[in-house]
Amino acid sequence: MIAAGCDVGSLTTKAVILNNTRLLGHALIGSSFNPEKSAAEVMEKALAAAHLTMDDIGFCVGTGYGRERIGFVKKTISEISCHAKGAHFLQPSMRTIIDIGGQDCKAIRLDEKGEIVKFMTNDKCASGTGRFLEVMAKLLGLELEELGRISGQTTQPINLAATCTVWAQAEVIMHLNDGMSKADLAAGINEAMAARIAILARSVGIEKDVCMTGGVAKNTGVIQAMEKQLGIPMRRLRVDPQMMGALGAAVFARERMGGR
C-alpha cells in the first residue's frame, strides 16, 4: 500500500512516498514558474529515492498553492489540513502547529483526535513569512540556513521596529552601515519574525504539545525566539519540518486507500 503526497508551495515543491507508516522517500526542489513541471520533477526525485516508479503509487494527494495544477494527483487537500495531518501523524500528542511557509504562516489548533479546531493565517502582509527571512538573509550575505546558527552568537539582538518587510529591510541596512554585527542583526531578525508569529499562535489559543512546520522551522534562531516569546517548548519533529505538508498529503492518500 504505497501512498504519495505532493506539496507545490510558493517557494519550494516537496514530495513524500509512504508505505503504511514508513517513509520510503522524499524530495524537495525550488518551485519553478510552472507548478505542473515542478510537481512532476519532485515526484520523480522522490520515487527515485524510494526505488519506485509512478505505477507503484496507489493514491496521491496534492496540496499547496499549486495543488490544482498537479496532473497526477487524485485529490487535492488544503495545506492547512495537510500540515495538521502530518504533524499529528508523527506525534499524536500535538495540539498546536505553527507552519511558516514561503508566503504565509498559519497557526492550527487540533483536538485529541487530530481534528482541526481552529486556524488562523496571516492576512496583513508578507511579514512573518519565509520570504521575509529570505530577503533578510540575502541582505546580510548569508545562506538562509546560516541565519539560525549565526544568531546564536549574539550578545545584544537589535530591535526591529518596522513590521513591513521593506521597511524592516531599510532598518537592517541602516544598522549594517552603523557597523552592527551580523549575529546581532540575525538574532533581531529572528526575534522580529517570532514576534509576528506569536501573535498568530496566541490568537488560536496555544495548547501543548506545540511544534513548528515549514521551511522556517529549520531556523533554530526562530524556534528559540518562539520558545522565549510563548514561554513553552517547541517539540522537534523526526522528519524534516519542511516536508510536513507533503507528508500530511501522503497520510491522507494512505487513508483514502483504506489505511489508518
Partner 1 sequence: MINKMKEAAHCLQNTSVKEWKRDGGKVVGYSCTFIPEEIIHAAGLLPFRLRGIGTTSMSIGDSYYGAVNCSVPKCILQLAGQGSYKFLDGAIITNGCDSMRRLEETWRKASEDYPGTLPDYYEYFPVPHKSVDYSIEFYEEELNSMIESLQNHFNVKISKSSLKKSIKLYNEGRKCLQRFDELRSRQDVPITGEDAKAVLIAAHAIPQEHFIDMLKEIIEKMEKAPSVSNGKKRILLMGSASDDIDFIHVIEEAGAIVVADTVCYGSRTYSTLIDEKSDPVHALSSHYLTQSICPRMLGYYKTRLAYVMDVIRKTKVDGVILQNVRFCDLHGSENGIFERDLDAAGIPCMRLEREYGPLSETGRISMRINAFMERIS
Output the smallest distance, CB 170 to partner 1, in A: 17
Residue in 4, 11, 73, 80 binding partner 1, rule: CB under 8 A: 80
Q: Which is nearer to partner 1, 65 or 89 (CB)?
A: 65
C-alpha grid cell, residue 131: 520570504
Output the smallest distance, CB 132 to partner 1, in A: 16
| CA 80 to each of CA 103, 118, 147: distance values in angstroms, whole numbers, following the listed order | 14, 10, 26
Output the smallest distance, CB 111 to partner 1, in A: 11
| Total residues in contact with partner 1, by rule CB under 8 A | 15
- For residues 61 and 76, the answer to whether their CB atoms sit within 8 Å is yes
Residue in 65, 86, 90, 196 binding partner 1, rule: CB under 8 A: 65
Output the smallest distance, CB 214 to partner 1, in A: 14
Output the CA torsion sign for 141, 135, 246, 237.
Answer: positive
Only one of the segments 16-24, 79-87, 154-162, 168-176 lies at the binding site for partner 1 (rule: CB under 8 A); that segment is 79-87
Q: Of 9, 50, 57, 59, nearest to 26 (Cα)? A: 50
Segment 158 to 217, residues that bind partner 1, using CB under 8 A: none
Residue in 124, 178, 231, 260 binding partner 1, rule: CB under 8 A: 124
Is 31 a binder of partner 1 (CB under 8 A)?
Answer: no
47: helix, coil or strand?
Answer: helix
Residue 228: how many other CB atoms lie within 10 Å:
11
Is 89 a binder of partner 1 (CB under 8 A)?
Answer: no
Segment 94 to 123, residues that bind partner 1, using CB under 8 A: 104, 115-116, 118-121, 123
Q: Of 95, 97, 138, 103, nearest to 122 (Cα)? A: 103
* DSSP class per residue in 194-236: HHHHHHHHHHH---SSEEEESGGGG-HHHHHHHHHHHTSPEEP
Output the smallest distance, CB 10 to partner 1, in A: 9
Strand partners, 16: 5, 26
Query: Which residues here bind partner 1, judged by CB under 8 A?
Result: 65, 77-81, 104, 115-116, 118-121, 123-124
